[in-house]
Amino acid sequence: MKAIRVEQHGGLDALELVDLPVPEPGPGQVRIKVAYAALNHLDIWVRKGVPGHRFPLPMTPGCDFSGVVDACGPGAEAMPIGTRVAIAPGFNLEPSLQAAAGEHNLARDYGIYGETTDGGNAEYAVVQLENCLPIPEDFPLDQAAAFPLTYLTAWHMVVSRCGIQPWDKVLIHAAGSGVSVAATQIARLHGAEVMITAGSDEKVARGIENGAQFGVNYRDEDWTKAAKQWTGGRGLDIIVDHVGVDTLPKGVWALAKGGRIVTCGVTSGAQMELNFAPIFFKSLSILGSTMGGLGELKHLAQLVFRGELKPLIDRTFALEDVAEAHAHVESRQAFGKVLLRVSGE
């Protein structure tokens, strides 16, 4: 089979198209003939490497993918061959209190396809049976690849960690990223009001099309002043932040009393100076968030399949054009998901 491999961390040339044996599913596993794989910033980190973190290279990246069940291992026959599925990107191999409680992402053995084991940037991939999310026959396989990681991440941030309420005023940074597109839709689904930031007027306009009521181009306007005006001076209830040093220190000053910042990443840098005075004075919360539970994903998947949440696809590249796809993600020009077409529908 054709597969993308990362043998050593590096630039775009670290992405190699190679021939590998078709994997065989083991006990409790199924093999997927991959239709589409979606890129996430996680794929960039797997390729480049992260200081202080060890990835088990060589690796086939790709944590988000969809396709058709092609073969079943022992004990996985409950999933009929030919079933169209989206893949839950996070998995557990051992029973644990956390997994039993639905907090799979907090279990010690939690892993992610394409980060801790081979993922979906290949013609075939092997996954755990419980990670298969059957999709309706009329639901497109490209859309099925575009939602699991980002919508689960956003749902866990906004709903599970922040406990969003209909009266909340929510600021979502980097409106065009996959997580922010999902967070905007999820916040609006819960009746909250949403303000977005983006680096161009075009992205601001698209963020408003995606459901936000207000947005600012942070290159031209001070988003903290705009947020203060938008909230009538009261401050924000929730800030969704995966930018880091460029935004989070300012965010604590932009929150209302009892407000919360939730972060799932730090693309602009992790080390920062933070003034703690507003944190205790205004009873603020700074919340970390990574992925979410399998039950959360299965719940929100139904909202996606019913069209109440709708992933946005920016561009689709052929598998062999994976380097160009990575470059497009890194250019920050995309609004929504960037996909690799492996076998298509």
Q: Is the pLDDT of residue 267 over 80?
A: no
Does residue 20 lie in a domain region?
yes
Write the secondary structure of 280-311 as one string of H (helix), E (strand) and C (coil).
HHCCCEEEECCCCCHHHHHHHHHHHHCCCCCC
Q: Are 155 and 300 in contact (CB under 8 A)?
A: yes
Written as one letter, the residue type at 107 is A
Same domain, 14 and 113: yes
Residue indicated by tokens 């490497």 = 49
Does residue 306 lie in a domain region?
no
Q: What is the pLDDT of residues 64-76, one digit of tens each?
A: 999 999 999 999 9
Q: Is the pLDDT of residue 287 over 80?
A: yes
Q: pLDDT-based confidence at 93, cuts 50/70/90?
A: confident
Same domain, 75 and 17: yes
Same domain, 47 and 133: yes
**Could you tell me how far CA 191 lies from the centroid of its own chain?**
22
Does residue 307 lie in a domain region?
no
Does residue 36 lie in a domain region?
yes
Distance CA 304, CA 144 (A): 9
Distance CA 289, CA 311 (A): 21
Structure tokens at 123: 């013609």
Same domain, 26 and 60: yes
Same domain, 15 and 123: yes
Picking from 253, 272, 288, the residue at the C-terminal end of a domain is: 288
The domain total for the chain is 2
Which pLDDT score, from 0 to 100, does residue 15 have? 97
Which pLDDT score, from 0 to 100, does residue 182 have? 97
Does residue 298 lie in a domain region?
no
Which pLDDT score, from 0 to 100, does residue 115 have? 96
Which pLDDT score, from 0 to 100, does residue 274 have? 87
Task: Give first-to-last CA distance, the chain, whole Å.
Answer: 18
Same domain, 158 and 110: no
pTM of the model: 0.94
Same domain, 40 and 103: yes
Averaged pLDDT of the chain: 95
Which pLDDT score, from 0 to 100, does residue 282 have? 95
Q: pLDDT-based confidence at 152, cuts 50/70/90?
A: very high
Listed in sequence order, the residues at least 6 apart from 67 whose beta carbon sits closer than 8 Å to its beta carbon are 32, 33, 34, 35, 36, 84, 85, 87, 120, 125, 141, 342, 343
Which pLDDT score, from 0 to 100, does residue 275 have? 87
DSSP 222: -
Q: Is the pLDDT of residue 270 over 90?
A: no
Distance CA 194, CA 209 (A): 12
CATH number at residue 48: 3.90.180.10
Same domain, 88 and 165: no
> How much of the chain, in percent, has pLDDT values that exceed 70?
99
Q: Which of 183, 177, 255, 175 is nearest to 218 (CA)?
A: 175
Of 27-31, 216-220, 244-248, the range with the lowest mean pLDDT is: 244-248
- Across the range 248-265, mean pLDDT stands at 94
Q: Which of 257, 249, 204 is nearest to 231 (CA)?
A: 257
- Across the range 237-265, mean pLDDT stands at 93
- Across the range 234-240, mean pLDDT stands at 97
Residue indicated by tokens 């031209």 = 220
Same domain, 242 and 321: no
Which pLDDT score, from 0 to 100, does residue 148 have? 97
Q: Is the pLDDT of residue 244 over 90?
A: no
Structure tokens at 85: 């599925």
Distance CA 215, CA 24 (A): 49
Does residue 295 lie in a domain region?
no
Domain range for 202 is 151-288
CATH number at residue 222: 3.40.50.720
Distance CA 153, CA 172 (A): 14
Does residue 172 lie in a domain region?
yes
CA–CA distances in Å: residue 5 to residues 31, 45, 87, 91, 280 = 18, 14, 20, 21, 47
Does residue 232 lie in a domain region?
yes
Of 29-43, 56-70, 96-110, 217-231, the range with the lowest mean pLDDT is: 96-110
Structure tokens at 213: 């009521």
Same domain, 116 and 225: no
Which pLDDT score, from 0 to 100, does residue 51 have? 87
Same domain, 127 and 215: no
Same domain, 12 and 142: yes
Residue indicated by tokens 């009521």 = 213
Which pLDDT score, from 0 to 100, does residue 236 have? 98
Cis peptide before 58 (omega within 30 of 0): yes
Q: What is the pLDDT of residues 161-210, one digit of tens each?
A: 999 999 999 999 999 999 999 999 999 999 999 999 999 999 999 999 99
Q: Are 120 and 64 in contact (CB under 8 A)?
A: yes
Q: What is the pLDDT of residues 98-121, one digit of tens each?
A: 988 888 999 999 999 999 999 999
Q: Where are the alpha helices (DSSP H) in 137-198?
A: 141-145, 148-155, 178-189
